[in-house]
Amino acid sequence: MRSAAVPTRAGLMRPQQERSAATGARRIAKSLEGWYRRAKRDLPWRRSRDPYRVWISEIMLQQTTVRAVIPYYGRFLGAFPNVRALARAALPRVLAAWSGLGYYRRARHLHAAARRVVRMYGGHLPREDAALRDLPGIGRYTAGAIRSIAFGAPAPILDGNVARVLARLHGLRGPTASHQRRLWDETALLVAAAASPGDLNQALMELGALLCTPERPACGACPLRRRCAARAAGAQEIIPAPRRRRAPVEVTQALALVERRGRYLMHRRDGAALMEGLWEFPGLGDGSVDGLRLRPLELVAKLRHSITYRHITVEVRRARLLAEPSGGAYRWVAPDGLARLPVSSLVTKVLGRVIMSRTGVPVRQTTRPGVPGLRMTRTGVPVGRKPRPGHRVGHGV
């Protein structure tokens, strides 16, 4: 296969330059693939080339750390082991399995794409780039990852880790956003020269995650250290230039903890709101909504929570129910029942604080209800723990 030509200031490379670039790309690809096979982490999604499993892992890993994804990946596949199972499932069940992982639009896109794959491709993920990118939630990067890892196609990828590696390798100063065309050309040249396109792409991602990190890169252990232009110039700490982050916005939110016979009143967000369809504790201070009227009582907890650029100070107050809400957007839910509903990580945090205030037992707040780490009885007491003296079980407000 003839390698893609790389644009330069003078235009496309001449044939001799192109041959030289292809030779360099083969050497870089060989170094990367050899390093990857020796140094790669044993991650669950790397144990299979099944297209469905590759697809699920790539969607989960978007803007989410490997550490956060690992437990969700196994549970999600346990609930939806193949495309047809995911397509058959109701959306709320899919969102419940995704709860706590964030960026819930990814789960909605997965569900919609699975139904389209079953309808249009007989339950088999397509191999072609255009067909993959026509599915909800799959862009150029994700299509390249699926095609290279699952199908062995020489498809390039470019994410933040890969862009940083290549920007340093070629000494590209400034933000990587200003070099997108060049970076895509470079990764296309490398994957075309690779013995295993999937391993090459994963090697680039792994190198950026483990060694060529944004700060204090471990250049001494890098397989490309002798070829790296940024290292040769002593500029590895400043290449690439950091992208300008959106300024954080401080938000205050007041939530109501309304309890009746061991169950909590929960509200489902509507389709126009952030995190639509997720269940949460009702808000205070919004006046009467759907007939709901509450009287705030004592402060139960105060905590911090972040959603993208929003930094939220959350005040949780026990509340007395003055008027029952109407419609299907409200439900009384026992703590163990939350595992069957799509909820955000904020609900887990709040419930963890409530349990700790009652029992004196610290609860791991990063684990959502109903999974190991936060197993609870219907009364809100962690399984295996006795209520502390004075703890009232199932009291109404």
Lowest mean pLDDT among 92-101, 136-145, 328-337, 364-373: 364-373
Residue 280 known to be catalytic? no
177 and 69 inside one domain: yes
End position of a domain, from candidates 359, 375, 390: 359
CATH number of the domain where residue 279 is located: 3.90.79.10
Q: Which pLDDT value is given to residue 245?
A: 80
The per-residue pLDDT for 80 is 98
Is 177 part of any domain?
A: yes
Q: What is the 3-state secondary structure (H, E, C) of the chain?
A: CCCCCCEECCEECCHHHHHHHHHHHHHHHHHHHHHHHHHCCCCHHHHCCCHHHHHHHHHHCCCCCHHHHHHHHHHHHHHCCCHHHHHHCCHHHHHHHHCCCCCCHHHHHHHHHHHHHHHHHCCCCCCCHHHHHCCCCCCHHHHHHHHHHHHCCCCCCCCHHHHHHHHHHHCCCCCHHHHHHHHHHHHHHHHHHCCCHHHHHHHHHHHHHHCCCCCCCCHHHCCCCCCCHHHHCCCCCCCCCCCCCCCCEEEEEEEEECEECCEEEEEECCCCCCCCCCEECCECCCCCECCEEEEEEEEEEEEEEEECCEEEEEEEEEEEEEECCCCCCEEEECHHHHHHCCECHHHHHHHHHHHHHHHCCCCCCCCCCCCCCCCECCCCCECCCCCCCCCCCCCCC
Q: pLDDT, tens digit, for every residue of 348-395? A: 888 888 877 776 666 554 444 333 334 433 333 333 333 333 332 222
Q: Which domain holds residue 263?
A: 249-359
Q: Which of 29-33, 152-156, 215-219, 278-282 has the lowest mean pLDDT?
A: 278-282
pLDDT digits (tens, 9 = 90+) for 283-319: 886 555 677 888 999 998 888 888 777 888 999 999 9
- Spatial contact of 368 and 343, defined as CB atoms under 8 Å apart: yes
Write down the catalytic residue from 18, 33, 58, 186.
58
83 and 217 in a single domain? The answer is yes
CB-based contact 80:86 (threshold 8 Å): yes
Residue 2 has pLDDT above 70, yes or no: no
Q: Is the pLDDT of residue 6 over 50?
A: no
Q: Domain check: are 84 and 206 in the same one? A: yes
What's the mean pLDDT in 131-157? 98
The residue with greater pLDDT, 2 or 71, is: 71
Q: What is the dihedral of CA 176, 179, 182, 187, to 10 degrees?
A: 10
Q: What's residue 12's pLDDT?
A: 54
Domain count within the chain: 2
In a domain, 384, yes or no: no
Sign of CA dihedral 153, 159, 162, 168: positive
ω into residue 369 within 30 of 0, thus cis? no
List the single range of 77-81, 93-97, 171-175, 281-285 with lowest mean pLDDT.
281-285
Give the Cα separation of 148 and 156 in Å (integer): 8
Per-residue pLDDT of 208-243, as tens digits, reads: 999 999 999 999 999 999 999 999 999 999 999 988
Choice between 356 and 102, residue whose per-residue pLDDT is larger: 102
Answer yes or no: do 299 and 209 share one domain: no
pLDDT of residue 363: 55
Q: What is the CATH number of the domain that holds 172?
A: 1.10.340.30
Q: Is 2 within a domain?
A: no
In a domain, 47, yes or no: yes
The structure's pTM equals 0.78
Same domain, 132 and 39: yes
170 and 132 both lie in a single domain? yes
Asked if 203 and 264 sit in the same domain, the reply is no
